Structure 1
C-alpha cells in the first residue's frame, strides 16, 4: 500500500504521516487527512497547485515526494509513478486553471452546460447515491409550483402598466391607490412606517382580489397549473417577447384591449403538457395551496417526465440547500476518483481547496465528518490502495475538528492544539487573529476612552447596551472602572 508520507514544496516540508500521527492510530476512514490553514492570500491555493504538480510530474529541484512502500521503506519519486494520481477540487469562482497532464485530474466545476438530458440523468442518479451513502433519507420528487409572491412580483406590475384598462372597478381603485402611495414623499423619516402599512394593506387587498378571481375561473389544481406556467414563462421571456402575465389577465377579463392570443396559446400548451405528465406519472399526488407534487419512480421515469419540457422541477427531497451543495461537491470528486481508478491509478492524493466555502456554520461543523464518511466509501468502492486528503481552509470550525498534529498553518509556525478547542482559542492560536471584529473593537475602544473622561453620551450608553460580551458591557457601564 504505497502512501505519501511527506512533500518538500520549495522551502516547506509538509508531513502527511509522522510517528506522532501513527501513535494516534487510524482515526479517519482514509489513509491520511491533512489540513492547511491560512488567511486569504496566504498561499494555500498556490501550495496545492505545487503539490499537484509534484505528484503528477515529479523531478523539479524544489519539490520532492516521499513515498512509503508496502515493506515500509521510504523513497523519493523521481519519475511519475503510474500508480499515483493527484486530484484537485475547488468550488471557488476564481480558481486557477490546472495544467493538463497524465496523473492529474481537475475535479472542479468547469461551468459547462449540464442541462443535456443524458448528463442530467447521470447526475441525478449520482446525487441520490451520495445522499444514501451519507445516510440521508431522500426521495426523487416532482413538483409543479408557483412562488408566494407571484401576484406581487408579476401580476401587480402588469396591472400598474394597464391601470386604465382594468375592468374590475374595485381592483382598478386599489391599483390606482397603490400607485399614489408609491409616489408619495414624506418629510419625516419616522413616518415611513405608516406609509409602509398603507402600502402593505393595499397590496394584500389586491392579492386577495386577484386570487379570488383566478380561483373562481380555475379550480385549485388548474390555478396552480396556470400560475406556475405564467411564472415560468415570464422568467424565460426576453425584452421583446410576449407578456404572459398580461395575456392571462386579458384571458380572464381583468383587463381589456390587449392582444393576448399568442401568449395564452403558449400558456395553454404548457398547462396541457403538465396535465399529461400528472395523468401518466402522478402517483401519490400531494396538493398544497401553491404546489402539486408526486414521487418519481427512479431515474428512468425522471427521463420520461423531463422529455415533456415543462416547469415541473425534479429533485431529491428532504435535502437542505447546504447538503445539496455538499452532495454536488462530492459528485465532482466522485467522478474524478472513478476516472483515476478506471485508468489503473490506485493511489490517490486528493486536494480540496476551501470545500467549506459558502457553507453555513452548522454545515462547516459537519464537513469533516461527511468528507471522511464519503471518501472512505469511495476508497472501498474502487478498491484503492491508498486515498490521502489535503484540505485547505480558513475556517476556525474546520480547524477545531482536526487534531493539531494533522494541521499546518501558513500564518504561524507555532503548533496549536486545535482539536475540540474553543473557537476563540483556535482563532487566536492558529489564525493569530481575534474573535472580536475590528469595527466593534474600535468603537468599544473609543467609548472606553470617553468613559475614562466621564464623557459617555446617550448614544454611547445605548450602544453599550447592545454589546454581547457581559464583562465588556458591564465594565463600560461602570464608566471603565474595575
Structure 2
C-alpha cells in the first residue's frame, strides 16, 4: 500500500519513479511550517484502521510498520513507540552498526570512524556498591567476608550513631571529629574488602566478578542488597546465586570470550570483522557501543542508519509494508555529505527492499542540496507559497530563490552592501574588495570613483 503523497502519474507508471522505494517524498518548508507535525500525524494516521486524514492508494492492510526518525534532540509532538511504530532519535537506545552498514557508510561518505565496544559495567563501581551496602544500619548481610571485618564494621556503626547524636545536639566540633573518624574507617573497610576479594580470586576473575555485580545492579537497582548478598554467598562458594547475578556473569563471560580480557580493565576494543555484535545494542546488555574517531557528522550518520537498520531487520520478511519517516536526516552534515545523502538513502532502501511488501520514504529537509536530488513531482512544500517548485538537477541559487523562497546572501551582508550603495555608510576600497560577487563589487567601485 502506498500513501499518495507524490505525483499520481508516478503511481500510474512505476517506471517514472527514480527511487528504490516504491514511493519517495521530500517535504520542504520554512521553520514552523509544520513539517515535523506532518510526519508525526502521518505516523499516527497510518496505524489507524480508518485514517480519515490521509489518502491511501488502496485499502489499508493493517500490516504497515512505521519507523519515525528525528535528528532533533528536542521533544516534539510525536507518537509513542508501539508494536507498529518505532520512534527513534538521538536519545533512543544506541544500536550497533553492522559490518555491512559500517562499510557502506564509510565508502559512500569517506568516513573514517570505526565501531568500538566497551563493557557497560565497571569493576570499581561494583566494589563501591558492595562496600556501600556494608554501611547500612542495621547490617543484614551475611558471609565470611562480613565476619572477617566485624570489628571494623561495629566501630563504624558505633561512631556513625555517635555522629548522628552529636549533629542533632548541635555540638559541631565533636560531630566534626566523629565525621573524620567515620571517613577513616570507611576507607579502611574499603581496603580490607578489596584485599579479601583479591585473595579469594585470581586478578582476571576478581574484575570479572565485580563487573558482574555492577552489571546486575545496573539492571536491577531496586534489588541491590539482595544482589550483594548473593555475591557474598558466591565468594563463600555457596551455590545459591541470584538468577540476575548469574545472568550478568554469563553475559560478561560471553563478552570477554568474544572480545578479550582487555575489556575487564575498562578498555575500548574495535569490533572485529564478522564479530557477533547483534545482541549488544539491547538495553541492559553487557556491552555498549561507540564510534572511534568519528566527527559529529559521522556520528549522526552512524546513529541514524544503525537505529533504522535495527528496526528494519526486526520486521524484515514478515510481509510488512514499511514506511520510513525521517525528520531532517541531513542535520550535522557538511554540504559535500548532503550531496551524497539521497544517493546513500536510496542504496539503503534498495538493500532492505526485498524484505517488505512495499517501502515508502518521507523525508523533511531545509537543504536545497537535498532538494536538487528530488524531482518536483516528489516534493511537497508547506507554508507560504513561493515561486514554482524548482528542484531536480537545478542550480542551488535557483532552488533557494524559488522553492525555498529565500535570498541568496545573508541579511547582515545584504544590509551592509545596501548601506554602502545608498551612501549611508562609508564606502571603503578594502571592504569593497571583500565582496565576492563581481557585479556588486563593480557597482561599489563605481561609487568610489564618482
TM-score (norm 1): 0.54
Q: Which residue of 2 aligns with 1:475?
A: 443
| Counterpart mapping for 1:64-75 below 5 A | 64-67=54-57, 75=58
Runs of 5+ consecutive residues of structure 2 not aligned to the other structure = 118-190, 192-202, 205-254, 272-289
- The separation in 2 between residues aligned to 1:339 and 1:23, in whole angstroms, is 28
1-structure distance, mates of 2:377, 2:104: 29
How much does 1:139 deviate?
8.8
**TM-fit CA distance, 1:24:** 5.7
1:407 aligns with 2:364: no
The alignment status of 1:340 with 2:340, answered yes or no, reads no
Q: Does 1:130 align with 2:110?
A: no
In the other structure, the counterpart of 1:92 is 72
Distance 1:47 1:440, change over 3 A: same
| Deviation of the 1:417 alpha carbon | 3.1
Matched, 1:43 2:16: no
Aligned residues: 297
1:299/1:28 CA distance change after superposition, 3 Å: farther
- C-alpha distance in 1, partners of 2:449/2:261? 74
User: Is the 1:134–1:374 contact (alpha carbons within 8 Å) kept by the matching residues of 2?
Assistant: no
- Matched residues in 2 for 1:412 and 1:428: separation? 12
1:311 is displaced (CA, Å) by: 6.6
Shift of 1:17: 4.6
For residue 402 of structure 1, report the CA deviation from its aligned partner.
1.0
Q: Is the 8 A contact 1:83 1:347 kept in 2?
A: yes
- Partner of 2:73: helix, strand, or coil? coil
- Partner secondary structure for residue 66 of structure 1: coil
Checking the alignment, whether the CA contact within 8 Å between 1:64 and 1:76 is kept in structure 2 is: no
1:86–1:419 Cα change, 3 Å: same
Match of 2:233 in 1: none
Distance 1:418 1:480, change over 3 A: farther
Gap change, CA 1:448 and 1:414, over 3 Å in 2: closer
Compute the displacement of 1:108 (Å): 2.4
Which one has the bigger helix percentage? Answer: 2
| Counterpart mapping for 1:126-275 below 5 A | 126-134=97-105, 136=107
1:377 CA displacement: 0.7
TM-aligned CA deviation for residue 22 of structure 1 = 3.2
- Residue 135 (structure 1) shift: 6.5
Q: Quick check: 2:300–2:332 contact (8 Å CA) kept in 1?
A: no
Displacement, 1:424? 0.7
The CA distance in 2 between the partners of 1:329 and 1:390, in whole Å, is 15
Cross-structure match for 1:391: 363
Q: What is aligned with 2:265?
A: 308
* Alpha-carbon contact 1:56-1:101 (below 8 Å) kept: no
Match of 1:444 in 2: 417
Post-superposition offset of 1:326 = 0.9
Distance change >3 Å, CA 447–CA 400, structure 1 → 2: same
C-alpha RMSD of the superposition = 3.7
Whole-Å separation in 1 of the counterparts to 2:19 and 2:260: 38
Distance 1:444 1:388 in 2: 46
Query: Aligned with 2:350: secondary structure?
Result: helix
